[in-house]
Structure 1
């Protein structure tokens, strides 16, 4: 019979079809690829790798098997993706510099901290570690749910039992659609200690948890130099970051010479790339205090940094390197995970620990029920054995003479079918008196165990006591020895080191020229004639800025981001310069609305076209990276309109509807980033201009125009967020 839907065509709007398919792709990426589960801290590919290796009997005490065999089983049974990506995930699980607690023990070349790739999977071998075995412990005791694999031929676990706190101990990183996760590694002993506090007191405060688990513990060591208050806020909200520095020491040489030796580098920094970066900066003369760098590493990291002169202070030398190289990095914290309900959300430290402990409680319940059912089955059989041992002659007679021995046994001794089957399957040697004694002993032992399990299932305090015992065992097993010892040191932020006078750039006056099409260059000297400057055809001057070669510039764009540029890095000479979009990641739809020299102690008023704004300090606008820093958060379809120096105590705002509003500047909050507050009530006209002024000096809207005092401005003074009044002629007219 022909399919009635064959040849059927249904019209669908392209936008609807794209939305539906993109949403399906996004959910697949979030749920099945990029975000870890809060209960076992694993993504699907890692969970399937460990489960496949457990099915292959690759226990820590067993022999190794080729990684190609493992990858083949994973992609053939559980994970329908490419073998290269699966092998990369397997390799990472075995790298001691990538995993704080490796889940796979590798044999062969599994890469190096220099960024070298692992050997092909046909050459390498692997097996599980004790940590992985702890994650899998109980999976055969119905501890977790199983689901069909992609082809329906096998079963795979939805989540692992997770007796090891893998999410916090090993961390996680991933980028999904519209969301990402970044969790640093921690010390497993400290995580278990914090979890024990929560078991004993479910309402324990965050400060007590952080006393037991003070911060990250990276596999490559290093020194975490982050403010305690910032760390507490990060763990409370699930968002933040940690500043990580290399560990270094000074080695004295002959005749008063010395060198700095770096023995630990920040997490996820490739040593070879770090050395290349330092060498490049040396060649560009951007490290004026450093003479040379040598790599004397073996299996241990050892980078030797020689100062240009022995009169340099080691702290000052390292400060210049920390600011310019990856000897100092920032590891972001974004604990965005899948909860037990499979819904992604950002969790704080207490919520993560609570979710893991609740999972362990569920695993204990399921394993106890599974064991109780097994005990009941065995006790039923033993009860049958004991019942017939008192009359073995009758049992033998029934078996020899009765046509239906099973039914006769059930009728004669009041047995169940299971008991009758067990008796009929019993070997003759089991009829000895000694065997009866062993059965009685086993029955007594299992009866006591069953009573304990029944009590455990009935009383929740007993279950939490058992979980506390398991946590203590995990803490002792993985929190001590070379594997469990803390590697990263937690330190207070170092005292500021003044390196402002240290520069390889000669300080000289320049004028920065920015064209309308975004070409930027620096011309020597101040007071240049803008009309004498030449531009590409169709381009023209947008703004000039007098500064010095040692200055830093801040550019504020229409997408609400702030970018930092060093004047010394700008192209010089009489040419056209360079597109600013090659120096910062600025899309073609966005442009700079402000460009100014960064000075300490200044504040800036940022505002969107919709009339919302905030005050920001100069230091909060700095971003030494191409992507800049999102300072003003914008609503969909909105753009940033103004960036004005906040000097004085009042602000005057002019909308596109030619209405003017003046109010005290202290009504605008000072933030490091945000959406801001309503400054001027607007409809569709947008915010046009803003001026800040001091009430004593008065407001001069245009240069060369007499300032107006507060008495003249009283008509337009109101409260923040008002609609304002029609502006006077001296504001709306051209200067």
Structure 2
């Protein structure tokens, strides 16, 4: 005011300092500032450590106060007071609620706080007052704090600039996924489910070792959420969507058993965050109001060992009906996944891979900074040890120099000038005690110096080689997994429902046709009556111009099929999901059923009804490779398919057979060669392996198919060529050889026969279904095909039009075609 005129009106001066603003603009900006404060400062977790500020501040305050897993428990009020006074000035009730939740084993998959006292229950009971409970850090919480004192993360001033707090914790494991998070911000919310630590660690390691791994690859490890209260996830599609998009709605069903003989239903696990006491009350209310019938008593027999809710049924009640009523209203909840977290201070919805990528980037930064910090310390120590060793080499002169000096400063100056010690070395030598001049002390210093130099070399390698740095992260993650991993609690169940769509589909034997343009349909097998060899067959499908048939196979309408494509992918498909159409219909685009890529075609189909856990899927490729993989490796097949075999560039999967480990394999080539060897010569491998060479192909040749021979069942090897010719040859004519040989001549190919289309192991009762590229289909008895020796041309099997050729062949066993023929005869009558 001193600069203003003495005669100025004070009111005018104040008015001149006021800035006019539109109230809408001011409110909008103020609200945005408030919203961002809530989003970044309270409601959303950081993607790197999975913690909100209040969680991070509580753990940091406990760590600073020494309330670790090795210390005695501390009153919760003390922890809350220190957190509120130093780092989080938002009220003690909010801090204590957070502290209590971190101690609840029914809220956190891996609790971060070790609580002592009443911290609440699944009945919704609140924790006791903070003055009655005690807490300390859980051991796994210390893994989040590990190395925080080694300049691994940035610090920021606390709310009153007295102290510093970390912006993020080092987080030695991916806590965001492991413990999940939930919160409501302004205009957005997050709801991340907890997961099994071992699965998340395995996925993280996979991403580090294979950076181009897809979400589907990571889901091979992360099966789905793993809730602390167990229960069951209904179906897998919602889980897959949540991991791919960051959003999804997962149905979680209680674990229960129906005891029909005893007339009771026992509930042992509840969906995550479901209030047990309120559940029992609601069931009782529905029984009293008549919404649920058949229940005569309801008891909560839960104790510290677990949940046990007993539903006693009336004598005439149907247990399945009561179960369905409970499922519909009480025993199933939806968990809405919103994988929203802060990335560089901004909220982002992340898929599974992005979440882990951000964590891996964080850990790389932590390990890099930690290594740099330790390297500086080690180099400083090495420098001091070099000075000590140099002093010991000149011990008499050094002692004499120190004795001749007037004081310590003079002694240090003399050492620096006389022996060229650095200032730090000279200061250390002056402080040395005479006892450190013994020969034993000298040996210890030399040993320590070697160790320090070795560690320096290791740290420099880590800092200069990303692969070495990543290996450190992998090793540390594996150590945490070994220490804290446990069994999965949440299981997966299929959504059976009361009456499924499958129950409404009549069970019948079908023929499924697939074209090169990916049109697919199914028809009843009895549409195609068995004919004599050499027939033309009947039209089996209508094709658009330029399209051709690529494959045909027989299956039951209720079968679950494993569908293998030429690109080495495997899909799971229910036969009844394939649209049923007439013989002349084109079919439906397969992209509506299978997530096929451009150029991807179905090459082989395996019926899961034929599979046992101790069997193998044996695959062969166009280039002659063979691979056996155990059936149980294909337990969880996503809707987008999974990899069945790794293919070399230009190679394709051709055929798949089910084998038991003791069968013989016959691989047939397009140019008529065949090789027989024991399947044990191709050792069992994992899904993503390439396999080994099964047949040594001549130039220009390629594999046509594979047959698995059971000596007690099969009589012949059947070979069919593209021009419609074929033959049966006795199995004994294919003498066993070693794998990776050129084989023997199986059938003569050439202008008349064309190249081989299929090779099959057959018995006298089998039927052959052959389909031409132009859509003709013919079914005939295998016995109609003449038995001739190996290395012959064979006989006509299917009469083809000019420019047509056999596209696909399938073998229908007696049990299947007999059932279809019986149904057809019944229809005729």
The partner residue of 2:477 within 471, 484, 497 is 471
1:243 aligns with 2:251: yes
Residue matched to 1:666 = none
Q: Is the 8 A contact 1:238 1:347 kept in 2?
A: yes
The partner residue of 1:345 within 348, 364, 373 is 348
Question: 3-state SS of the aligned residue for 1:57?
Answer: coil
Residue matched to 2:233 = 224
Question: Structure 1: how far apart are the matches of 2:217 and 2:26?
Answer: 51
The partner residue of 2:295 within 284, 290, 294 is 290
Question: Structure 1: how far apart are the matches of 2:465 and 2:117?
Answer: 50
Any stretches of 5+ residues in structure 2 without a counterpart?
5-12, 501-829
The partner residue of 1:151 within 157, 160, 164 is 160
1:233-312, aligned counterparts within 5 Å?
233-251=241-259, 256-299=261-304, 300-312=306-318
The partner residue of 1:328 within 332, 337, 341 is 332
Shift of 1:357: 1.1
1:181 aligns with 2:152: no
The partner residue of 1:163 within 138, 160, 172 is 172
1:493 aligns with 2:495: yes
Question: Structure 1: how far apart are the matches of 2:452 and 2:488?
Answer: 42
Shift of 1:278: 1.1
Question: Structure 2: how far apart are the matches of 1:415 and 1:377?
Answer: 14
Deviating more after overlay: 126-135 vs 316-325: 316-325
Residue matched to 1:454 = 460
For the structure 1 residues 3 and 317, does the alpha-carbon distance in structure 2 shift closer, same or farther, using more than 3 Å as the test? farther
Question: Structure 2: how far apart are the matches of 1:455 and 1:245?
Answer: 51
Residue matched to 1:82 = 91
Shift of 1:399: 2.0
Question: 3-state SS of the aligned residue for 1:211?
Answer: coil
Question: Structure 2: how far apart are the matches of 1:348 and 1:490?
Answer: 21
Show CA shifts across 1:473-520 (max 9, x none): 1222221xxxx211111122123349xxxxxxxxxxxxxxxxxxxxxx
Question: 3-state SS of the aligned residue for 1:116?
Answer: coil
For the structure 1 residues 2 and 88, does the alpha-carbon distance in structure 2 shift closer, same or farther, using more than 3 Å as the test? farther
Question: Structure 2: how far apart are the matches of 1:477 and 1:19?
Answer: 50
Residue matched to 1:422 = 428
Q: Is the 8 A contact 2:263 2:315 kept in 1?
A: no
Q: Is the 8 A contact 2:263 2:314 kept in 1?
A: no
Shift of 1:311: 4.0
Question: Structure 1: how far apart are the matches of 2:3 and 2:35?
Answer: 32
Residue matched to 2:389 = 386
How well do the aligned residues superpose, as a CA RMSD in angstroms? Answer: 1.7
Residue matched to 2:321 = 316
Shift of 1:88: 0.4
1:634-649, aligned counterparts within 5 Å?
none
Residue matched to 1:209 = 218
Question: 3-state SS of the aligned residue for 2:191?
Answer: strand
Shift of 1:127: 0.8
1:115 aligns with 2:119: no
Shift of 1:6: 7.2
Shift of 1:140: 1.0
Shift of 1:293: 1.5
Question: 3-state SS of the aligned residue for 2:219?
Answer: helix
Q: Is the 8 A contact 1:258 1:310 kept in 2?
A: no
Question: Structure 2: how far apart are the matches of 1:310 and 1:3?
Answer: 98
Residue matched to 2:48 = 39
Residue matched to 2:807 = none
Shift of 1:168: 0.6
Question: Structure 2: how far apart are the matches of 1:14 and 1:393?
Answer: 84
Shift of 1:294: 1.0
Shift of 1:3: 11
Show CA shifts across 1:645-672 (max 9, x none): xxxxxxxxxxxxxxxxxxxxxxxxxxxx
1:26 aligns with 2:35: yes
Show CA shifts across 1:619-654 (max 9, x none): xxxxxxxxxxxxxxxxxxxxxxxxxxxxxxxxxxxx
Question: How many pairs were matched up?
Answer: 487
Residue matched to 2:552 = none
Shift of 1:310: 4.0
Deviating more after overlay: 54-63 vs 131-140: 54-63
The partner residue of 1:377 within 377, 380, 383 is 380
Question: Structure 1: how far apart are the matches of 2:2 and 2:93?
Answer: 42
Any stretches of 5+ residues in structure 1 without a counterpart?
499-735
Residue matched to 1:439 = 445
Q: Is the 8 A contact 1:195 1:357 kept in 2?
A: yes
For the structure 1 residues 181 and 3, does the alpha-carbon distance in structure 2 shift closer, same or farther, using more than 3 Å as the test? farther
Q: Is the 8 A contact 2:199 2:222 kept in 1?
A: yes
Residue matched to 1:365 = 368
Q: Is the 8 A contact 2:324 2:498 kept in 1?
A: no
Shift of 1:93: 0.1
Question: Structure 2: how far apart are the matches of 1:289 and 1:457?
Answer: 69
Structure (1 or 2) with the larger CA radius of gyration:
2
For the structure 1 residues 3 and 189, does the alpha-carbon distance in structure 2 shift closer, same or farther, using more than 3 Å as the test? farther
Question: Structure 2: how far apart are the matches of 1:119 and 1:346?
Answer: 36
After TM superposition, the score normalised by the length of structure 2 is 0.57
After TM superposition, the score normalised by the length of structure 1 is 0.65
Question: 3-state SS of the aligned residue for 1:434?
Answer: helix
Question: Structure 2: how far apart are the matches of 1:311 and 1:279?
Answer: 17
Question: Structure 1: how far apart are the matches of 2:69 and 2:262?
Answer: 49
Shift of 1:397: 2.3
1:70 aligns with 2:79: yes
For the structure 1 residues 441 and 195, does the alpha-carbon distance in structure 2 shift closer, same or farther, using more than 3 Å as the test? same
Show CA shifts across 1:544-601 (max 9, x none): xxxxxxxxxxxxxxxxxxxxxxxxxxxxxxxxxxxxxxxxxxxxxxxxxxxxxxxxxx
Question: Structure 2: how far apart are the matches of 1:46 and 1:305?
Answer: 40
Deviating more after overlay: 432-441 vs 33-42: 432-441
Q: Is the 8 A contact 2:41 2:53 kept in 1?
A: yes
Residue matched to 2:22 = 13
Shift of 1:316: 2.4
Shift of 1:429: 1.9
Residue matched to 2:205 = 196
Shift of 1:2: 6.9
Shift of 1:332: 0.7
Q: Is the 8 A contact 1:246 1:262 kept in 2?
A: yes
Shift of 1:32: 0.6
For the structure 1 residues 14 and 334, does the alpha-carbon distance in structure 2 shift closer, same or farther, using more than 3 Å as the test? same
Question: Structure 1: how far apart are the matches of 2:2 and 2:291?
Answer: 76
